[in-house]
Structure 1
Amino acid sequence: MVSCAESIGVPRGSRMFMYAVRAVAFQSEEKIAAKVDYLKTTLRWSDDEVGIALTKSPGLLRHSNERLRRTSEFLIFEVGLEPAYIAHRPALLTYSLEGRLRARYYLVKFLKANGFLERDVSYFSIVQKSEKVFMEKFICPHKEAAPHLADDYVNACRGQVPTRLRFA
């Protein structure tokens, strides 16, 4: 398991090594190679980009192909992120598509469209914030101007994106 973890590019002394060992535990080399190929094909990553992503987030090897496909399609085709951007921020692929990625994307898109955001914020910085910080920064300041925002966000986190947050 240790040599397999090293073979995916995670150095033995790094803080991610323990996670890499867990990610490859009880998986055959063939299954790991198939997952690496799947990441290359689905996300259009080069060998180097797969190496970067797995070094930062070896747990990707444990995610189902279906989850990786759905999340990557959303990030690339709906959010408009480049595959290389995702490779350098592979944590994006670990967040819940319904509970975090989609809900926050729609909410911030609503805020931008209605002039509530003064500056452009990177999508990664939006989704990596804790729920509490996200609420404090993006929902609470707009309670009076958009009183429905908190409820709409909660519903979006449940997979029910309100029409106010949808855009054509």
Structure 2
Amino acid sequence: MIRIFSVKPDKFRGIVEEVKKLGFDPSKRSFLTAVQAFLQLSKSTWERKIDLLKQWGWSNEEVVSAFEKYPKTMMFSEQKISAIMSLFVDTMGWKSSYIAKRPVLLAYNLERRIIPRCLVLQALLSKGLIQKFSLNLLVESTEKKFLQRFVIPYKDPYLLKLYEQKLGLPE
């Protein structure tokens, strides 16, 4: 956590004004997160992350919109962003613009949540058990809701075993 009291007042005031100009409401928690992001990241790191997101096909507007929706987006490591985007876009074939619209998807743990759930989804799709699904439901659901929606209804022991193995749970 950045120590706000160690920041020069003029710099802090400038960051607060910049965050206000972006449309953040000072009475909301997201305002503080946005200020924290500006304080935490150097200009060069900020620009590298913007360039990285653009390499994944995001426009300037999508980068700004993602930050406005979920300011922590810019606080994730470049490695985490790349790994999650690679899975979603390269492996799963989803459009990067969808992730830009739901930047909270970058917040989830790759190994403990995203990969196991994507493996279950791939199994369901390959068996023809589902044709349509919601990426939000897939990733953002609680454990219980995920199991109720994507595993239990299909009464396929392979799905549960696959999921538990990827989670590292004992069989």
Report the TM-score, using the length of structure 1 for normalisation. 0.78
Q: Which consecutive aligned stretches of 4+ in structure 1 deviate over 4 angstroms post-superposition?
A: none
1:155 pairs with 2:152: no
Match of 1:108 in 2: 121
Gapped runs of 5+ residues in structure 2? 1-14
Whole-Å separation in 1 of the counterparts to 2:72 and 2:26: 17
- The 5 Å alignment of 1:40-59 reads 40-41=54-55, 43-59=56-72
C-alpha root-mean-square deviation of aligned residues, in Å?
Answer: 2.2
* Contact 1:99–1:157 (CA under 8 A) maintained in structure 2: yes
With 19-28 and 69-78 compared, the bigger mean Cα shift is at: 19-28
> Could you tell me how far 1:112 is from its partner in structure 2?
2.5
TM-score (norm 2): 0.77
- 1:60 Cα deviation after fit: 1.6
Maintained 8 Å contact 1:10/1:20: no
Q: 1:39 aligns with which of 29, 33, 53?
A: 53
Percent identity between matched residues is: 29
> Secondary structure at 1:115's aligned position in 2?
coil
Q: 2:103 aligns with which of 70, 86, 90?
A: 90
Distance 2:83 2:40 in 1: 25
Bigger CA radius of gyration: 2
Of the two structures, which has the highest relative contact order with CA contacts closer than 8 Å and spacing of 6 or more? 1
Q: Which amino acid aligns with 1:28?
A: S
TM superposition shift of 1:125: 2.5
Q: How many residues align?
A: 153
